[in-house]
Structure 1
């Protein structure tokens, strides 16, 4: 028994014949389709799905092995027009689409919980709160590329979808009671429509600890080591940090060893591939040291400066942000939802940094729409933001942080 549920044997479907029989059963079910996917983040370079779980009333639970099955076109044809129930859908949609599974309508139970103002929105917590069932979540960070998958992992994976439709019904009723059905509809539609994130410019700049690196040579070495590690990780399909961690790259940048031996004997240059691939790392360091094309000290400007620096760099923007944010926090509290769900924080920062001219409810609304805000968010925030921007030098509310 598990939290009041009887544990049954779970079987992974890993042949085309078994898969096609399962699709027929799913087609014979009724109502929404619960969907989940398990990846191997932290273990593999790719973000592909290594297990896809499906549940539908009248059909049951099905655990599919995507690498073994290949195309999921037949399943897509059966469930494409149905409502899919996922928890934190944005985390799974990319890997589902990779195998041909793409919803037209979703109900996101995590997002619904956020819109309802629940203090914790993890699946286990929400299931316990709404269904009174305790789920163990000890396998959430497991290496799902493992084969064969242990029985306990399969049980964990099955329960992640087996309870989702019941949970959806509870949350849907709560959304009706809270008069947030339309808000949820817009948010769910935006989740499905959201484009894939564009590739980051200079991705090596996301290195943990890169802020401590100074000078063109140090940044050149950091870039070469990061790109060398990334290429090897992609080739081996292993998470980059499992070759050498970010801290090793920063350590090498800090000391800038002048010989291969010095690098090999540096204690804080560690990781499972730190010595077995020492020639590779040393070659990267030499390229970084001798390059005639060092990266600029600052990034490409695709992101705004951190707000803590605004007071010096753009005092007017700093004043606008500090005046507007408390008003949005107050509005979010009135609506009983997190302020980041009321309006994406980056939208407010971009508006504050470069406001429209003139500043009116209408021009602020237009910019918010261009940035991707939903109609309900614009209705709830545009007037407040315009009001704050017109008189940005009024004193911010007590407790407002410079790092907002």
Structure 2
């Protein structure tokens, strides 16, 4: 177990960042807590450059700006494992994203370790070390952190730094290193964009059930809910749940008493939001109705077309020794089929771009859909 430096003041952070600016590779991990909040609450940042392993306490350091700036260096490779949630944390707290992102989970998949391998399993397979998972449910906001918790956190970057060269060599041999950085660039795109209230209704479960007029009501409801969630830092479901928004859009209650008659809302939601919900519903723009949400899967021929694409991509994945989930997940197939059926007029779907397109384009073009 490597010794680590615990950073809990601005001066120590500045000194650490100055050292890290000499590095070309930085291994990073974050620990956070997400229960009722819209954004995850950052509890700890682990960093290792091969010389100094540091645990940065974001609850004690008052200015993390130098560290966020470090991560945005064009020539710095930032190594994380299964980093989607880490990127969300960086976007929220640092308004930044790594320029050269190396996700070791994606890299491992392209090296033959299988799709979605967990960190502990990757450490075991690459280093023959079994990690203690005893602290995985730690409340990273609570202080003080125990020695066991700190060592657990430090392990996340110590061993990943040892694994990185192994993955790097395999990727270079297979000429797939560029694929990993391409995936990293794709994963960071749009992370700094503010949540869009105008399109929030498209992400409400079962919105496809609604008519255009009902969608107009859902649109203002979903926008209001998002604004509430952001203002109060609450997960969307802790403002009003999806099924309740759908019911409101369908029933369109005209008064507070109508709201109180609805079984889909909790008593607490009624007390807190009844008056507001009535006003929000009245603000719906019924002169400019949204288009009905087109459910591709309900169209004739969808199942057979989906199966044909999946079979084609499965053959490609097996031939290239790349996990099918990485080349053609259900969502990827759906996007491709929608693009074809809409006349190929929009931007090509993910499965046809970059390294995926190199593998798939010629084969997919031969399908009759």
TM-score, with length taken from structure 1: 0.71
Superposition map of 1:354-373 within 5 A: 354=342, 368=348, 373=353
Superposition map of 1:4-403 within 5 A: 11=6, 13-27=7-21, 32-46=25-39, 49-65=42-58, 68-73=61-66, 76-77=69-70, 80=73, 81-93=75-87, 95-96=89-90, 99=94, 102-117=97-112, 118-135=114-131, 146-148=141-143, 150-151=145-146, 153-175=149-171, 179-180=173-174, 182-192=175-185, 195-196=189-190, 201-213=198-210, 216-217=213-214, 219-253=215-249, 259-261=255-257, 263-264=259-260, 268-270=264-266, 274=269, 278-288=271-281, 291=284, 293=286, 296=289, 298-299=291-292, 305-311=294-300, 322-342=307-327, 344-345=332-333, 348-354=336-342, 368=348, 373-374=353-354, 376-389=355-368, 392=369
Aligned 8 A contact 1:34 1:84 in 2: yes
Secondary structure of 2:205's counterpart equals: coil
Aligned 8 A contact 2:111 2:171 in 1: yes
Structure 1: 4+ residue segments shifted above 6 A: 138-143, 369-372
Aligned partners of 2:25 and 2:220: how far apart in 1?
48
Secondary structure of 1:85's counterpart equals: strand
Aligned partners of 2:28 and 2:236: how far apart in 1?
29
The CA RMSD measured in Å over matched residues stands at 4.1
Aligned 8 A contact 2:224 2:280 in 1: no
Q: Using a 3 Å threshold, how does the CA distance of structure 1 residues 379 and 206 change in structure 2: closer, same or farther?
A: closer
Per-residue Cα deviation, 1:33-68 (whole angstroms, up to 9, x for no partner): 101234444433236755332112121233241784
Q: Using a 3 Å threshold, how does the CA distance of structure 1 residues 350 and 111 change in structure 2: closer, same or farther?
A: same
TM-score, with length taken from structure 2: 0.76
Secondary structure of 1:133's counterpart equals: coil
Q: Using a 3 Å threshold, how does the CA distance of structure 1 residues 228 and 83 change in structure 2: closer, same or farther?
A: closer
Unaligned runs of 5+ in 1: 358-366, 393-404
Aligned 8 A contact 2:229 2:235 in 1: yes
Aligned 8 A contact 1:36 1:161 in 2: yes
Aligned 8 A contact 1:36 1:54 in 2: yes
Give 1:196 shift: 1.0
Secondary structure of 1:324's counterpart equals: helix
Per-residue Cα deviation, 1:122-181 (whole angstroms, up to 9, x for no partner): 22332233223334557767765x3536435544433222221112223334445xx53x
Aligned 8 A contact 1:139 1:153 in 2: yes
Per-residue Cα deviation, 1:298-326 (whole angstroms, up to 9, x for no partner): 45x7xxx4442232xxx5x8766543331
Aligned 8 A contact 1:110 1:121 in 2: yes
Q: Using a 3 Å threshold, how does the CA distance of structure 1 residues 120 and 231 change in structure 2: closer, same or farther?
A: closer
Aligned 8 A contact 2:43 2:58 in 1: yes
Give 1:206 shift: 1.4
Per-residue Cα deviation, 1:364-391 (whole angstroms, up to 9, x for no partner): xxx75998711x32332122112224xx
Q: Using a 3 Å threshold, how does the CA distance of structure 1 residues 63 and 291 change in structure 2: closer, same or farther?
A: closer
